Amino acid sequence: MAEYRRLAINEVGDVTVVRFRDQKILDDLNIQELGRELSRLVEVEHRQKLLLNFSAVEFLSSAALGKLITLDKKVKAADGTLKLCDIQPEIYEVFAITKLNRLFDIKENETEALAAF
């Protein structure tokens, strides 16, 4: 498996659980790298079921949201499934304000999310 600097990858059954290594996702270079690593999961490693676990994330900017939207498009193009979970209240508010909570399938926690695949 390729090395990931921004992500921690774990497999639970046929679901790839992705955690973020950064508590604050805001530096542009890190966000670019994050985007490349997320794309690699789908386009190079052909992972079909992705769960992004945000439990470690305290902050993210709109540039990071852009990478998540790009990932969502790639997953859909590959007929895969993407879910998000464990999003802290302030960050969930960012998703709600931008109405991205309607674009993404967001679950309360990892257990609930894994059961929904």
Partner 1 sequence: MIPSEIGAGRAVETEVLGQLEEHGWSERDVFGIRLAFEESVVNAMKHGNVLDPEKRVRIRCRLADDLMRIEVTDEGPGFDPDAVPDPTHDDHREKASGRGVLLMRRFMDRVEFSEKGNAVLLEKRRSAEGD
* CB of 10 vs partner 1, minimal distance in Å: 27
Cβ closer to partner 1: 13 or 89?
Answer: 89
Taking CA atoms, 92 is separated from 2, 37, 57, 96, 109, in Å, by: 30, 23, 11, 6, 13
Applying CB under 8 A, what is the total number of residues that bind partner 1? Answer: 23
Whole-angstrom CA distances from 94 to 47, 58, 99 are 27, 12, 8
Contacts of 36 (CB under 8 A, 6+ apart): none
Of 81 and 101, the one with the shorter C-beta distance to partner 1 is 101
Backbone angles phi and psi of 63, in degrees to 5: -65, -35
- Applying the rule CB under 8 A, the residues between 8 and 37 that interact with partner 1 are 26-29
Which residues in the 64-83 window bind partner 1 by CB under 8 A? 65-67, 69-70, 72-73
Measured distance CA(8)–CA(29) in Å, rounded: 18
Which residue, 90 or 112, is less far from partner 1 as judged by CB?
A: 90
Of 37-56, which residues contact partner 1 (CB under 8 A)? none
Which positions touch partner 1 (CB under 8 A)?
26-29, 59, 61-63, 65-67, 69-70, 72-73, 90, 94, 97-100, 102-103
